[in-house]
Amino acid sequence: MPALSHRFLPLLLVPVLLTLTDVNMSSAADEVPDGFQAIFNGKDLTGWHGRPHFDPRKLAAMTDEEREAKKNEWTEDAQKHWSVENGELVNDGHGAYLTTDKDYGDYELRLEYKTVPRADSGIYLKGTPQVQIWDYTDPSKFGIGSSLGSGGLWNNSAGAPGKDPFVLSDRPFGEWNKVRIRQLGARTTVWLNDMLVVDNAIMENYWDRKSPLFLTGPIELQTHGGEIRWRNVAVREFKPEEANQYLSQHESQAFKSLFNGKDLSGWTGAVENYEVVDGAIRCKAGHGGLLLAEKEYANFIVRLEFKLPPGGNNGLAIRSPGDGDVAYNGMCELQVLDSEHEKYAGLDDRQYHGCAYGMAAAHRGYLRETGEWNFQQVTVNGSTIKVELNGNIIMDADLSKVTEFLAEKPHPGRERTSGFFGFAGHNDPVEFRNVSIKELPATAGKE
């Protein structure tokens, strides 16, 4: 692997395929598809600044004055190496990367690029490397994957989904390449020249692989060793409802619905304490208890959407025996909680949203605004449990290895190998909808 400072390539851009022609971008408004916004005006660098390969955490830790001074320093360097010609962004292969002033969360990016032999570039997503762009004909880099083509998440770990593109779809030098990138949380999909090259892969946080990708961040166009040109750069941001829809659609045919959206057919337990309202299961205010799907499950992946009222508290029952306190006599209770509400400020880390209650903490800061629908996927496989919230892995733990428990209270149920899935209400009107499940083999490998 080459020196990292020279290899961080920008992440995937989500192109909604455009038939963009090589015209002066002063007419860029005519080139942008419905719902997209041009983020390069075809005339100058308005909306962009310079930033080299730099840890966003270090930037955030600076004072406002320090941050502004650093940004001005980088931008001065970028202006020496970036120019605009005939509506195209042009970089000479050197200098700070061109970085959007705006940060993005869930979005689709489209752009076109044209580069030269032996050049190397990429697209940073949320300030993190990267979606790779390079010379697929250069034998000196075949050992690190150049012969596989551009578009992969090159800085993902070896063997991780998305690191290598599915197919080589680069066009010959001298021709424009079209990139389309969709990023939902860390879930990243890339198309290069209309070919799917990365499908819904988790983009790793290069800066801290033990943490999820940043919630938001800028798009950066990397410079590295040869001229590269960019044009027709446009973004469409997704609202939560649309982001949830995309997340739930991936391989949805493999999942079986547990809720018909009309009544509680197929559910048992504290049925009288729950109601169906506008296609969602809602715990009645002031009530609670276990609402469980009829069938027992061993290894499985469950998907659902949930909506929290202010201060809302509920939980997902995992391998429940059917009664009792699932946090202790089941494999675990996964917290469903308005974690940032002031009344929960003093909780233990193992009590916030997404945690295996009392046993394993989850990363915070990835819930949508209170009152909006969140998408969550939970993978239960042997003694391991993984929680994905809005496209971000917030917990991945092996409960068999937990040795310290909240209040030193034992969790005898954590060794259960099967049980019921459902909801553990705690008196708040938390809502759930689009509940579906996929059973995994008893010997399923960790996903």
Of 220-224, 364-368, 422-426, minimum mean pLDDT range: 220-224
Task: Among 196, 217, 238, give the residue marking a domain's end.
Answer: 238
Whether 19 shows a pLDDT value over 60: the answer reads: no
Q: What are phi and psi of 200, to 5 degrees?
A: 60, 35
Q: Do 58 and 134 share a domain, yes or no?
A: yes
Q: What is the CA radius of gyration of the chain?
A: 24
Do residues 132 and 7 touch, judged by C-beta distance below 8 A?
no
Distance of alpha carbon 392 from alpha carbon 363, whole angstroms:
9
Q: What pLDDT is attached to residue 374? A: 98
Whether 229 shows a pLDDT value over 60: the answer reads: yes
Place of tokens 């996964």: 334
Q: Do 261 and 148 share a domain, yes or no?
A: no
pLDDT band at 10 (very low <50, low <70, confident <90, very high): very low
Paired residues of 180 in beta bridges: 110, 191
Q: Do 306 and 207 share a domain, yes or no?
A: no
For 176, which DSSP code?
Answer: P
> Residues 6 or more apart from 332 whose CB is under 8 A from it?
318, 319, 326, 356, 357, 359, 385, 399, 411, 413, 414
Q: Do 272 and 226 share a domain, yes or no?
A: no
> Other CB atoms closer than 10 Å to residue 329's CB: what's the count?
18
Q: What is the pLDDT of residues 89-119, one digit of tens each?
A: 999 999 999 999 999 999 999 999 999 999 9
Of 18-32, 140-154, 358-372, 432-446, minimum mean pLDDT range: 18-32
Q: Do 81 and 214 share a domain, yes or no?
A: yes
Count of structural domains within the chain:
2
Q: What pLDDT is attached to residue 443? A: 67
pTM of the model: 0.91
Strands, sheet with 288-297, edge to edge from the N-terminal-most edge strand = 267-269, 288-297, 419-426, 313-320, 332-337
Domain hosting residue 305, numbered range: 251-439
Q: What pLDDT is attached to residue 149? A: 97
Q: What stretches of 364-436 show up as alpha helix (H) in DSSP?
A: none
Task: Among 216, 238, 260, give the residue marking a domain's end.
Answer: 238
- Tell me if 373 is assigned to some domain: yes
Task: Among 238, 266, 294, give the residue marking a domain's end.
Answer: 238
Distance of alpha carbon 313 from alpha carbon 335, whole angstroms:
8
Q: Do 279 and 234 share a domain, yes or no?
A: no
Q: Do 284 and 389 share a domain, yes or no?
A: yes
Distance of alpha carbon 402 from alpha carbon 415, whole angstroms:
11
Give the burial string for 217-230 (b: 16+ CB within 10 Å, else e): bbbbbbbbbbebbb
Q: Do 228 and 256 share a domain, yes or no?
A: no
- Tell me if 447 is assigned to some domain: no
Q: Do 226 and 258 share a domain, yes or no?
A: no
Of 1-15, 76-90, 126-140, 219-233, minimum mean pLDDT range: 1-15
CATH number of the domain bearing residue 413? 2.60.120.560
Do residues 127 and 220 touch, judged by C-beta distance below 8 A?
yes
- Tell me if 188 is assigned to some domain: yes
Beta strand 392-398 pairing with 288-297: unpaired
Q: What percent of the chain has pLDDT over 70?
A: 92
